[in-house]
């Protein structure tokens, strides 16, 4: 969490939502007391300085012209910026150029004392503005977020051991609910990893082990790898699983509770009934029916469950390792997606 003491004064963001920052960078600041009044006085002084300078631009016109060009370039560049930090830097540069222009006019004209006094008066207000503000810096590197819901202290890495069905239920969070933006505080999120806890009742969950990797499909349709960090059997024999993820962390910042699918295994191949597989000498085969002719085709079983198998063809190098000759490989029949496969074949 990132929070100061002057929350009642209002917060001014220095870093934008989702912006990456380093440890020690300024995230936001709390306004000083009477900040609106001070800014009003500074704006009035800026106007007076501009009016005073306009009557003295005949002095060292090349210098004045060069500064005016720099100011115009910054103003043009400002139009294409939408990042808060970049806009602030551009405005700061513009004010610096205006001050420099005023100083040149003030030092070399009859109205110099008046202009310089205006500059000093403005600087005193700016000093009060700076000294009265409270700046909050990042305690760690990561991503800035102003979405704060009060669960930041209880949902930490240190609290993983405390999580169970009752703990999750008592959080009373709606799935897909976006965390509200705070006007008083912010936080820094580790954008390289986060944890997702869920309760699962499937056989796959009961057979899972810590450090197993599975695919998680988020509601955004992104598919990411999740590593099982913890497994806990609950009182009702369901399994609490805590996944650690290292991808798409920034897409989850807005939420506390999400919907997602667990893909326990994922292979590319052809799905056939388990009863269509026959075994001979440690190898797997299916029987294909094409135009009434039946062929026994060697297949590689990638994955199987109680009902189905995912199979594919062996490549040439694999077939050579199994002992097949080049001529045998050349004439070997292979399974394809449109083949008719016989269930429970009697052919051996």
261 Cβ contact partners less than 8 Å away, ≥ 6 residues apart: 216, 217
| Two tokens, residue 250 | 């920034």
> Of 54-63, 143-152, 244-253, 310-319, which gets the smallest average pLDDT?
54-63
pLDDT at 245 over 90: yes
Nearest to 276 by CA among 292, 288, 258: 288
Which residues are 163's β-sheet partners?
none
Which residues are 262's β-sheet partners?
216
| Residue with the larger pLDDT of the pair 56 and 334 | 334
The bridge status of strand 213-218 relative to strand 223-233 is: antiparallel
- pLDDT for the residue numbered 90: 55
User: Which of helix, strand or coil describes residue 288?
Assistant: strand
Percent residues over pLDDT 90 in the chain:
44
Specify burial of residue 250 (Cβ count, 10 A radius: 0-12, 13-18, 19+).
middle
Which tens digit of pLDDT belongs to each residue from 88-115?
665 666 667 666 666 665 554 555 677 7
pLDDT at 24 over 80: yes
3-state helix, strand, coil in the chain (%, to 5): 35, 30, 35
pLDDT at 84 over 60: no
pLDDT at 185 over 70: yes
| DSSP state at residue 341 | E
Q: Which domains can be identified in the chain, with CATH numbers?
A: 32-132 (no CATH), 144-263 (2.40.30), 270-341 (2.40.420)
Nearest to 190 by CA among 250, 257, 148: 250
* CA gap 42, 244 in Å, rounded: 51
Nearest to 4 by CA among 30, 32, 35: 30
* CA gap 250, 143 in Å, rounded: 8
Specify burial of residue 270 (Cβ count, 10 A radius: 0-12, 13-18, 19+).
middle
Mean pLDDT score across all residues of the chain? 84
**Mean pLDDT, residues 226-233:** 94
| Two tokens, residue 67 | 């500064």
Nearest to 171 by CA among 194, 152, 188: 152
Which tens digit of pLDDT belongs to each residue from 32-57?
888 888 888 888 888 887 777 665 55
- pLDDT for the residue numbered 241: 97
- pLDDT for the residue numbered 326: 93
Provide the CB-side half-sphere exposure for 228 (13 A, CA): 23
User: What are φ and ψ of residue 198, in 5° steps?
Assistant: -150, 160
> Of 115-129, 136-150, 160-174, 264-278, which gets the smallest average pLDDT?
115-129
Nearest to 240 by CA among 163, 175, 173: 163
| Residue with the larger pLDDT of the pair 77 and 7 | 7
Please tell me the pTM assigned to this model.
Answer: 0.64
| Two tokens, residue 325 | 């000759």
**Mean pLDDT, residues 18-39:** 88
* CA gap 140, 27 in Å, rounded: 11
């Amino acid at each position: 969490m990132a929070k100061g003491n002057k929350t009642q004064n209002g917060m001014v963001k220095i870093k934008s939502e989702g912006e990456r920052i380093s440890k020690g960078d300024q995230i936001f600041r709390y306004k000083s007391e009477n900040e609106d009044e001070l800014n009003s006085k500074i704006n009035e002084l800026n106007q007076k300085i501009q009016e005073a300078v306009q009557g003295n631009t005949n002095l060292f016109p090349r210098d004045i012209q060069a500064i005016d060009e720099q100011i115009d370039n910054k103003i043009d560049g400002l139009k294409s910026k939408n990042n808060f930090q970049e806009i602030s830097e551009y405005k700061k540069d513009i004010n610096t150029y205006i001050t420099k222009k005023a100083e040149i006019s003030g030092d070399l004209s009859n109205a110099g004392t008046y202009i310089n006094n205006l500059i000093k008066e403005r600087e005193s207000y700016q000093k009060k503005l700076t000294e009265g503000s409270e700046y909050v810096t990042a305690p760690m590197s990561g991503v800035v977020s102003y979405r704060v819901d009060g669960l930041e202290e209880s949902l930490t890495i240190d609290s993983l051991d405390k999580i169970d069905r009752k703990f999750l239920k008592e959080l009373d969070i709606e799935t897909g609910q976006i965390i509200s933006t705070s006007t008083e505080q912010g936080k820094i999120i580790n954008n390289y990893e986060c944890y997702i806890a869920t309760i699962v009742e499937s056989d796959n969950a009961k057979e899972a082990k810590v450090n197993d990797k599975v695919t998680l499909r988020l509601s955004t349709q992104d598919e990411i790898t999740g590593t099982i960090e913890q497994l806990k059997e609950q009182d009702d024999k369901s399994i609490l699983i805590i996944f650690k993820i290292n991808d798409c962390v920034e897409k989850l910042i807005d939420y506390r509770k999400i919907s997602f699918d667990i893909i326990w295994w994922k292979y590319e191949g052809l799905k056939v009934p388990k009863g269509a597989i026959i075994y001979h000498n440690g190898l797997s085969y299916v029987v294909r029916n094409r135009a009434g002719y039946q062929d026994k085709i060697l297949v590689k079983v990638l994955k199987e469950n109680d009902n189905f198998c995912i199979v594919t063809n062996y490549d040439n190098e694999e077939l050579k390792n199994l002992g097949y000759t080049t001529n045998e490989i050349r004439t070997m029949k292979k399974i394809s997606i449109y083949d008719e496969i016989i269930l429970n074949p009697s052919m051996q």
